[in-house]
């Protein structure tokens, strides 16, 4: 299907690398995937009859037909529907300004909370952490966040963060943590049970049974960011022996 492309799975590719398409069967993630189609994930872009790599990283493949570039990118570009961890920086009238780590801040209306009305305003202060979702995210408009789903329910979103620790990791680790049946998350919960909030913008918030345990979890996650699965298991095994 691709000339020399499938053989590159597991290898490092660089922006500008191109591969010939022998069939017209590559589709966008936003389209409905059919079994015989090939799905291009992050880091890959189609240009005419060629497949172009637009991010440096390792080419990954998921059965039956999905390819993407696994990179250590830390710069976050907002996308509609993604949930992020933001920090309230300005409280101005009916709108809050939220820093999510992008090139500009996003707006968050006081009515974008579950049960919020003109009389029943949410208790949001400058410096608070909010877990929210983008409803507007494009290059021509100011990003806009909400703390409710399509049904008007919070569904885990809103102000949070009491007593925990906020830190940043690569976007690649975020995707691994949010993947179904994440091995990283499973190994971590067996070692040190904790509360964990994961934002698609590379921010993690963690809270464990104590300050020391919280710092251990944060250090483990930051350390395994660039590790292979075998290296991560060895690290967690040493941490477990040290805890005993």
CB 145 within 8 Å of CB 132: yes
Distance CA 131, CA 199 (A): 8
What pLDDT does 171 receive? Answer: 86
Distance CA 60, CA 70 (A): 6
Q: Tell me which residue of 53, 75, 69, 40 sits closest to 171, measured CA to CA.
A: 75
Q: pLDDT: is 151 or 87 the higher one? A: 87
Distance CA 10, CA 57 (A): 9
Tokens of 165: 């620790």
How many angstroms from the chain centroid is the CA of residue 42? 12
Statement: residue 71 has pLDDT above 80: no
Domains, the chain, ordered by start: 6-70 (2.40.50.100), 83-160 (2.40.50.140), 165-243 (3.30.1370.10)
Region class of 127: left (phi > 0), else alpha (psi between -120 and 50), else beta: left
34 band by pLDDT with thresholds 50, 70 and 90 = very low
Among 9-18, 77-86, 109-118, 164-173, the minimum mean pLDDT is found in: 9-18
Host H or E run for residue 220: helix 211-223
How many angstroms from the chain centroid is the CA of residue 229? 19
Q: pLDDT: is 38 or 34 the higher one? A: 38
Model confidence over 141-192: pLDDT tens digits?
899 999 999 888 999 999 998 889 999 998 888 988 998 888 899 989 888 8
Mean pLDDT of 66-93: 86
Among 67-76, 107-116, 139-148, 169-178, the minimum mean pLDDT is found in: 67-76
Backbone Cα Rg of the chain: 20
Statement: residue 87 has pLDDT above 50: yes
How many angstroms from the chain centroid is the CA of residue 132? 13
Host H or E run for residue 143: none
């Amino acid at each position: 299907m691709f000339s020399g492309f499938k053989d590159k799975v597991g290898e490092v590719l660089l922006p500008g690398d191109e591969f010939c398409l022998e069939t017209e069967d590559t589709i966008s993630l936003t389209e409905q995937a059919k079994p015989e189609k090939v799905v291009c994930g992050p880091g890959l872009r189609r240009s005419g009859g060629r497949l172009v790599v637009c991010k440096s990283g390792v080419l990954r493949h998921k059965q039956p037909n999905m390819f993407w570039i696994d990179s250590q990118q830390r710069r976050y570009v907002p996308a509609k529907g993604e949930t992020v961890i933001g920090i309230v920086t300005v409280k101005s009238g009916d709108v809050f300004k939220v820093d999510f780590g992008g090139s500009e801040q996003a707006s968050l209306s006081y009515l974008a909370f579950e049960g919020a009305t003109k009389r029943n305003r949410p208790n949001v202060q400058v410096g608070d952490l909010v877990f929210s979702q983008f409803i507007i995210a494009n290059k021509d408009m100011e990003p806009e966040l909400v703390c409710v789903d399509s049904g008007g329910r919070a569904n885990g979103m809103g102000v949070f963060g009491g007593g925990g620790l906020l830190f940043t990791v690569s976007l690649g680790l975020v995707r691994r943590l949010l993947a179904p049946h994440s091995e990283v998350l499973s190994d971590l919960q067996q070692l040190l049970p904790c509360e964990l909030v994961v934002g698609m913008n590379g921010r993690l918030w963690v809270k464990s049974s104590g300050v020391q345990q919280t710092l251990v979890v944060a250090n483990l996650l930051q350390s395994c960011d660039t590790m292979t699965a075998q290296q991560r298991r060895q690290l967690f095994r040493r941490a477990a022996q040290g805890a005993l």
